[in-house]
Amino acid sequence: MDSELSPQEEPATGLSPAEPGAAPWAGYYPPAGEYRGPQPPYPSNAPPYPYPGPVPPGYPSGPGGAPGVPWPAAAPPPPRRGRRGLMLALTAAVAVVVGAAAAAVVLLLGKGESPTAMALQSGQAIASAQGLALTGTIAGQDANLTVTRAGTVEGSYTQNGNPVTRVTINGVTYVKAPTAFWESVVIDPDSARQAGGNWAKAMGNAVIMTFDSLTPGQVARALEHVGTSPRAVDTTLGGTKVIRLTDHGTAYYITTAAPNRLLRIDGRSGAALYSFDVTPLTAAGISPVFTILHGDVQALQGAVDPEAIVTPVQKIRFHANCSGAASCTVSGKASVNDPTTPTILLKMTVDFSGTRNGAAFASCSDTVPVAQGGTATPACGLGGAVWSGWVDSHSSNFFTWAHAHYEAMVNTAGDITRLQDELDQQQKA
């Protein structure tokens, strides 16, 4: 049986009010009684033009100015601007600023949470789940599975058009699928026949995807570390407003309304695209899953290992007792190779017939453990009425043919006990 495997404003410049000749400036107020307001453009008691000679044209020659032209009266001083007026002005300015700030806050709140905050809250919700129910498709075909916190997988899907039931525990995947499934993923037809309809260890093409990134812990970790500027767009999912946030090739659909929750994951595992609606499970919700797992794991004792290569190293040997009528023992030696399994169970089944390749009148089998890459010699036989009746049915010399075929299997009874204990620990945790 062979098979593979903002800039700051600059300060205003100008004369200081303390400098001689400096004009009063906004915010500077002389002592009470000294402020006279701005001076008129020409003094009302200006002396005659101090220089000898004719008066320059157009310039007033005295208090009355040019003949017939009165000197402009001094402008009345502006009303004194007291500190109360200043405080009122400042208060109004503050009110404007505060009002603007309040408007800004309202706008920001109206915009809603950032995608990073949405992802963080949804991740925190996932982190407390005991498991995730995943319903959707793998490679476009129906899938319905559950992943526990520890990464144990249980469920079913369709692969290559064939229904597949799957269990993954302690990193090892087992599937139950028809012979047609195995014929599409392994080379040896005998291996496909042996695995068909039975629980079998799966690897290579027989495992369409892994679920390591889909445990509650791994999904939560990814959502809680999407960064400050993740790629996200608004969309809807089943009539619910969501964001589609993409991170490292995986798309997360998260509700925009609080509390933010993850609804779907789209991604790729190897060559297979997947799309799953996500339902976090509580301890009560995952309890039935563990019940199913316990039953499936019990059935994994002696699961077929179709990837193992078994090579007979000698022909079937008849032992000496086969010359009598009481019993007949046969044995065969074979090597076994499967780098992924430290210890393999080698099962030899022998069919007895009266002619070469004839119909078997009886069969026996034996299963022995063998280290990976080692050899083993299983033995079995016929006895009692089966063998004696065969012998007595002949009145003269006769031939007996023994045809052996081999199967590589995994999981002893002790292995199953350890797996059941593992499931108990996972459920308690």
- At 310-343, the pLDDT tens digits run 999 999 999 999 999 999 999 999 999 998 889 9
- What was the pLDDT predicted at 53? 45
The top-scoring range by mean pLDDT among 82-91, 108-117, 318-327 is 318-327
Is CATH 2.50.20 correct for 121-283?
A: yes
- What was the pLDDT predicted at 172? 96
- What was the pLDDT predicted at 170? 95
Residue 4 has pLDDT above 60, yes or no: no
Instruction: Using pLDDT thresholds of 50, 70 and 90, give the confidence band for residue 187.
Output: confident
Mean pLDDT of 145-154: 97
What is this structure's pTM? 0.71
Residues 78, 293: Cα–Cα separation, whole Å: 94
> Looking at beta carbons, which pairs linking 413-422 to residues 24 or more positions away fall under 8 Å?
413/301, 415/301, 416/297, 416/298, 416/300, 416/301, 419/169, 419/170, 419/297, 419/300, 420/294, 420/297, 420/298, 422/169, 422/170
Average pLDDT score over the chain: 81
Listed range (6-20, 47-61, 219-233, 327-341) with the worst mean pLDDT: 6-20
**Residue 333 · residue 368 · CB < 8 Å:** no
Listed range (1-15, 232-246, 344-358) with the worst mean pLDDT: 1-15
Instruction: Using pLDDT thresholds of 50, 70 and 90, give the confidence band for residue 48.
Output: very low
Provide the sign of the torsion angle of the four alpha carbons 83, 84, 90, 94, taken in this order.
Answer: positive
Tell me whether the CATH fold assigned to 121-283 matches the one assigned to 305-410: no
Residues 79, 90: Cα–Cα separation, whole Å: 19
Residues 378, 334: Cα–Cα separation, whole Å: 9
Give the SS3 label for residue 360.
strand
Share of the chain above pLDDT 90, in %: 69
- What was the pLDDT predicted at 77? 53
Mean pLDDT of 254-265: 97
> How many H helices and E strands in the chain?
8, 21
How far does CA 265 lie from the centroid of its chain?
A: 8
Listed range (10-14, 124-128, 247-251) with the worst mean pLDDT: 10-14
Mean pLDDT of 3-21: 38
Domain ranges of the chain: 121-283, 305-410
DSSP codes joined into one string, 165-232? EEEEETTEEEEE--HHHHHHH-S-HHHHHHHTTSEEEE-GGG-----GGGSHHHHHHHHHTS-SS-EE
Instruction: Using pLDDT thresholds of 50, 70 and 90, give the confidence band for residue 178.
Output: very high
Mean pLDDT of 344-363: 96
Instruction: Using pLDDT thresholds of 50, 70 and 90, give the confidence band for residue 76.
Output: low
CATH class of the domain at 305-410: mainly beta
Mean pLDDT of 354-379: 95
- At 61-73, the pLDDT tens digits run 444 444 444 444 5
